[in-house]
Amino acid sequence: MHRTDRWTQRLSALDNAGLQRSVRTLQPIGPTTAVLDGREVIVACSNDYLGLAHHPDVRAACIGTGSTGSRLISGSRPVHAALEAAIEDWFGQPALLFGSGYHANLAVLSTLPVAGDVVASDALNHASLIDGLRLSKATRTIVAHAAPEAVGKADYLVLEGLYSMDGDVPPLAEYSTDPLLIVDEAHALGVLGPQGRGAAAAAGVRPDVTIATFGKAGGSAGAFVVGPPALKALLMSQGRSFIFTTAMPEPVAAMALAAIPILRAASDRRQRLADRVQRFRDGLSALGHRALGAHHIVPIVVGDQAMSLSAKLLEAGVFAPGIRPPTVAAGAERIRFTISSEHTEEQVDRILDALGPAC
């Protein structure tokens, strides 16, 4: 047996279970359309909720060089400082940049809670939050999703503002204010709350730690953490995924900086998104589909039909892949549609037509 045959065997097992993954290459045509396998498709699974990846100001900002090192060595640039200042002006608290939301969540969860702390983590939290907690020496308790009454005594409580696979917003104002609250606003930034500050701001709640990303409604990549001044200083000194990694390249930071005024002011885009979401959700109900959540992430749970339904959608020119374990639980496979402010009404109707009535 060859030394690497064990990997091949594992791959076969994944393949047999229908769980082998592969990437699909999309060549964007515009904010909601792309060429996939030589055909034009409507993209119904992008996180570019407000179309900023194609916004002229964001695209024009994409200039600069690689950062050449960690922020703490050679990699800190004026554009990073300008971006942190713009976030501070937006959120009213010091901000620290990270290369991605994954890095930000690893740093927050592996640095803040320490041995002896109890961390309550929502059962549907994103893999990056789970992985951060796995690196922590604190005790984890997994609490029922979106159920404030299920949280016992804890030092920290970790939630998402808008859940990435279920599309729902937990009742943030109903949780106990005892634990320090950490909220990941990856999918709510720019879309919910005053000036797009997220689900917590929409609920009138100020978390102790807010994490948000520029890779979704921000239209580029990277992430930030905001909170009291000690948070920034502590993460800078002890957050391993801040310290031991190359800083955001200048063009990415510049795109994020250009996105902020649009995200803060995007009331026309937010309104158009709400209109399109309503049209899509109404259409789904009329077809007999039951969608989760109430916002721009619109999952329909179809179990083992997810991959065949996704193939049917693609046949009709709509790209929305099936979501399988381990991203979601076995039996809860789904199509996770995402709606953008830039989908036209006609495109929304075409997605509905491609889906057809529920069986």
Q: Which residues are catalytic?
A: 47, 126, 160, 164, 184, 187, 216
Position 105 contacts ligand PLP (CB under 6 A): yes
CB atoms near residue 266 (< 10 Å): 24
- Token pair recorded at residue 257: 């900086």
Residue 126 touching ligand PLP (CB under 6 A)? yes
What are 326's two structure tokens? 């381990």
Taking the least distance from each CB to ligand PLP, the nearer of 241 and 347 is 241
Binder of ligand PLP out of 48, 84, 122, 160 (CB under 6 A)? 160
Is residue 184 close enough to count as binding ligand PLP by CB under 6 A?
yes
- CA proximity to 219, closest of 42, 26, 55, 43: 55
- Min separation Cβ 249 and ligand PLP, Å: 14
- The nearer residue to ligand PLP, 187 or 343, going by C-beta atoms, is 187
Residue in 341, 198, 339 with CA at minimum distance from that of residue 282: 339
- Residue whose CB is less far from ligand PLP, 187 or 232: 187
Q: Is 102 in the site for ligand PLP (CB under 6 A)?
A: yes
Reference 232, options 65, 79, 66, 71; nearest CA is 71
Closest to ligand PLP by CB, 186 vs 202, is 186
Q: CB of 148: closest distance to ligand PLP in angstroms?
A: 19
Rule CB under 6 A: say whether 212 interacts with ligand PLP: no
Determine the residue with CB nearest ligand PLP.
Answer: 101
> From the list 33, 46, 67, 100, which residue makes contact with ligand PLP (rule: CB under 6 A)?
100
What does the alpha-carbon distance between residue 242 and residue 306 come to, in Å, rounded to a whole number? 37
Q: Does 215 bind ligand PLP (CB under 6 A)?
A: yes
Residue 296 binding ligand PLP, by CB under 6 A: no
Between CA 317 and CA 315 the distance in angstroms is 6
* Side-by-side strand order, sheet with 26-28: 26-28, 33-36, 39-43, 318-319
Which residue's CB is nearer to ligand PLP, number 91 or number 102? 102
Q: In this structure, how many other beta carbons lie within 10 angstroms of the beta carbon of residue 223?
A: 28
Candidate segments 4-12, 97-105, 138-146, 191-199, binder of ligand PLP by CB under 6 A: 97-105
State yes or no: residue 245 binds ligand PLP (CB under 6 A): no
The distance of closest approach from Cβ of residue 92 to ligand PLP in the complex, given in angstroms and rounded to an integer, is: 22
**Interface with ligand PLP (CB under 6 A), residue from 110, 128, 210, 245:** 128
The size of the interface with ligand PLP (CB under 6 A), counted in residues, is 14
Pair 123, 143: CB distance under 8 Å: yes
Name the residue nearer to ligand PLP (CB basis): 53 or 186.
186
Shortest CB 317 distance to ligand PLP, Å: 26
Q: Find out whether 145 and 278 touch, Cβ atoms under 8 Å.
A: no
State which amino acid sits at residue 23: V
Angle 161-53-104 from CA coordinates, rounded to 5°: 40
Identify the residue among 32, 213, 220, 341 touching ligand PLP (CB under 6 A): 213
Distance from C-alpha of 179 to C-alpha of 183, rounded to nearest angstrom? 12
Sequence length of the chain is: 359
Distance from C-alpha of 204 to C-alpha of 223, rounded to nearest angstrom? 22
Task: Tell me which residue of 66, 60, 145, 121 sits closest to 99, measured CA to CA.
Answer: 66
Closer CB to ligand PLP, 164 or 341, in the complex = 164
Residues that bind ligand PLP (CB under 6 A): 100-102, 105, 126, 128, 160, 164, 184, 186-187, 213, 215, 223
